Amino acid sequence: MRKYLLVLFIAFCLIGLPVLAQERSDKTAIPYDSVAITIERLDNTLSKPPVTLENLEINGYYRFIANYRHLNDAYSHLENNINNIFIGDDSQIPQLMLNIKGYASSRTFFGTDLFLWSPMTGVGEKENVKGLNLGVSLFGNFSTNYGNYSIRAGGINWYSLSPFTFQTAKGYNRYSLFERNPWDPNTAKVDSRYSDFYASGAINQDQRWGNQAFQGLILEGEQLPKNFSLSVMYGKTQLDGGLSPIPNNSFGGKILKTYSKNNNTIAFNTFNNKSFLDSLGKNSAGFNIATIELKQQLNRFKIYAEIGAGKRFSSNIQGNWGEAISVKVSNAIAEKFPTELHIYRISPDVLNNNAIFINSSIQQTTQLSPAQTQPVLLAVSSAVLPIGQLSNNRQGVELNSQVNTGKIKTSIGYSNGVELEELSPKITYGHAFNTLALSRFWRWDFPSEVGPYKNLSKIYRSVYETVYITELDSNNLPLYKKHFNTIEINAKYNTTLANRAFYVFYLGSFNSVQNEFSPLLKLSEKALLRAYYHQLEGYLKLNPRLVWTNYVSYERIIANYKTQTDNVTRRPKNQVGVSVASGLDIELSKGVGLYMRERWMKYEDTSFRNDHYSGFETTVELKMFF
């Protein structure tokens, strides 16, 4: 066999190579002394992309992140792992992402993505995943005399309809900038992240901001006759169907009418879901919601309203229709203080996992395996929420305003809400001062009822805690409705320090939960729970490519004796947390940034003796866009 292969190779060298080199388009042979010229011409040709590749666009990012944590005092499940090194993002964000766009014509193109992901947990080659993250999507658009139409099919598309149907809460831009998110970009100037936040109260966000992930078919029509537009969507969401092979589906859409010189709109929105609880399709659960949405300009007043109804259903239950109401009126008082008044009411019968309100009243499940089920969305009970984040089974009023005095810009928010029905003996709240570091105590999974007292639950890049009230009836339900008060303050100041730009931001949140109405915060033992958060940040631009970042926070959470107490101390929750951090933002080159953070943290509940931890963590992130 080897003899025949050798003969074929010699024959190819003697016959094939001269044949390949002997002809040109003019049928004349190429002399051997012109080989160097031929190679040079070939190199010049390959330096230009083939015509077919001109229809492709490729961009993306590379993100390296490493985290080292040392705990002087640890929860019991970490006592044997007080020193931990982790390479990669524990929120399952890929390290290398390639976004590929190809054009079939001037009006039709496709988009897909490839990612590389190497968690390095010891499993080996199987973890070095190369595949689809968001999947393949096909986009197209065309124009007619009756409007412009576009279509998106497949993949995962980030999209929104309206707050009550398909959207995520955006809040009022009161947040800390010290911790970087996986989706944060590199800015044109190293300090733009902080200067933009000071100037406009917001930072650049990617396409996911305010949108939900949707996989399936989306059809849009713009500039239709009589100033109409529409959108139709059919497919799956991450919480209702996801990647399950079971044919769960969600569908919805919008019909919008623009009037009065294109300033005002009115729209009909709907979103619906049906999920099967078993592979045989005998048991199902889902929800329906439909709303009317209005945007109206009346002189100096802007009015936004969304009013509708929703219900949930299952194979055994047909729920009642409940109301969902949100009305916002905004005005720049004395043309100087932008202010918005928001009134809302969301029935406990309304369920929609893909809206801006969380589910605090309805438990819904979906199939995980033939012998196991898991919640689609855990009921978070009576939650202490940031202003702008709503909940079903609640009504209330919010007031937000911007007050600027000299170089001090202050965003102030006030919220007062009450439950509609007494449905849960729980109160949940977050740990804003150290929420990301705390979430890393449980990597990869999103467990519930963990921690030394089984009262912590992890969600995406965050953790919330549960406390139980003790005044209950024979059905273990509260004897009263819970009332919620919140005040938020975000103050920003810009000056120079040693002739260098210096930004100081303060974020404060003050919350109380009580069993009676109160126009203001309850600052006494009459409150079932009081939670106070202080975060102070400073950013000094040392040179055009370097920013020194600093952070300090203090957290205080106190419950009264109408809540669960410790079996040993007989006292309710009494928590104190402190965190101090520092770091650097370094612009290595255009599109490449290096971000380092060092955090020292200490936390203790003086009533619950096993609830305490302390230590430090170091994070290094290198991010490159291309």
> In this structure, is residue 216 part of a structural domain?
yes
**Confidence band for 549, pLDDT divided at 50, 70 and 90:** very high
> In this structure, is residue 164 part of a structural domain?
yes
3-state secondary structure of 184: coil
**Confidence band for 395, pLDDT divided at 50, 70 and 90:** very high
> In this structure, is residue 245 part of a structural domain?
yes
pLDDT of residue 16: 38
Q: Answer whether residue 366 shows pLDDT above 50.
A: no
CATH of residue 101: 2.40.170
Q: Name the DSSP letter for residue 439.
A: H
In 3D, which of 339, 166, 358 has the Cα closest to residue 254? 166
> In this structure, is residue 181 part of a structural domain?
yes
Nearest-5° Cα angle at 563, 558 to 568:
85
For the ranges 80-89, 359-368, 483-492, the one whose mean pLDDT is highest: 483-492
* Backbone angles phi and psi of 128, in degrees to 5: -75, 75
Residue with tokens 């965003």: 411
Cα–Cα distance for residue pair 525/399, rounded to 1 Å: 26
**Confidence band for 19, pLDDT divided at 50, 70 and 90:** very low
For 45, counting Cβ atoms within 10 Å of its Cβ (0-12 exposed, 13-18 middle, 19+ buried), the class is: exposed
Cα–Cα distance for residue pair 386/462, rounded to 1 Å: 14
Considering the domain architecture, whether residues 15 and 79 belong to the same structural domain is answered as no
> In this structure, is residue 110 part of a structural domain?
yes
Considering the domain architecture, whether residues 305 and 375 belong to the same structural domain is answered as yes
Q: What is the mean pLDDT of the chain?
A: 83
Considering the domain architecture, whether residues 592 and 612 belong to the same structural domain is answered as yes
357-383: b (≥16 Cβ within 10 Å) or e: bbbbbbebebbeeeeeeeebbbbbbbb
> In this structure, is residue 114 part of a structural domain?
yes
59-87: b (≥16 Cβ within 10 Å) or e: ebbbbebebebebeebbeebeeeeebebe
More reliable by pLDDT, 89 or 241 = 89
Cα–Cα distance for residue pair 132/115, rounded to 1 Å: 7
Q: By percentage, how much of the chain surpasses pLDDT 70?
A: 81
More reliable by pLDDT, 574 or 8 = 574
pLDDT in tens, 472-485: 999 999 999 999 99
Helix/strand/coil percent split, the chain, to 5? 10, 50, 35
- Positive or negative CA dihedral for 587, 588, 594, 596? negative
Q: Answer whether residue 371 shows pLDDT above 50.
A: no
> In this structure, is residue 364 part of a structural domain?
no
Considering the domain architecture, whether residues 535 and 448 belong to the same structural domain is answered as yes
Residue 239 CB partners (closer than 8 Å, separation 6+): 353, 354, 376, 377
- Positive or negative CA dihedral for 45, 48, 51, 56? positive
Considering the domain architecture, whether residues 140 and 213 belong to the same structural domain is answered as yes
3-state secondary structure of 597: strand
Neighbours of 258 (CB within 10 A): 17
Considering the domain architecture, whether residues 18 and 101 belong to the same structural domain is answered as no
Q: Is this prediction's pTM over 0.85?
A: no
Q: Residue 162 corresponds to which tokens in the numbers above?
A: 């309206």
Considering the domain architecture, whether residues 139 and 26 belong to the same structural domain is answered as no
Considering the domain architecture, whether residues 523 and 570 belong to the same structural domain is answered as yes
pLDDT of residue 119: 54
Domain range for 518 is 49-359+371-625
pLDDT in tens, 295-316: 999 888 999 999 999 999 887 7
Query: Which range has the worst mean pLDDT, 25-34, 280-289, 615-624?
Result: 25-34
pLDDT in tens, 333-361: 867 889 999 999 999 999 998 999 988 87
Q: Name the DSSP letter for residue 31.
A: P
Give the chain's domain count: 2
Considering the domain architecture, whether residues 159 and 232 belong to the same structural domain is answered as yes
Considering the domain architecture, whether residues 30 and 96 belong to the same structural domain is answered as no
**Confidence band for 71, pLDDT divided at 50, 70 and 90:** very high
Considering the domain architecture, whether residues 9 and 103 belong to the same structural domain is answered as no
> In this structure, is residue 366 part of a structural domain?
no
Cα–Cα distance for residue pair 327/399, rounded to 1 Å: 12
Cα–Cα distance for residue pair 535/292, rounded to 1 Å: 39
Q: By percentage, how much of the chain surpasses pLDDT 90?
A: 53
Please compute the mean of the pLDDT values over residues 484-512 and round it to a whole number.
Answer: 96
Task: Say how far residue 10 (Cα) sits from the centre of its chain.
Answer: 63
pLDDT of residue 137: 75
pLDDT of residue 353: 85
Considering the domain architecture, whether residues 21 and 90 belong to the same structural domain is answered as no
Cα–Cα distance for residue pair 443/435, rounded to 1 Å: 13
Neighbours of 197 (CB within 10 A): 21
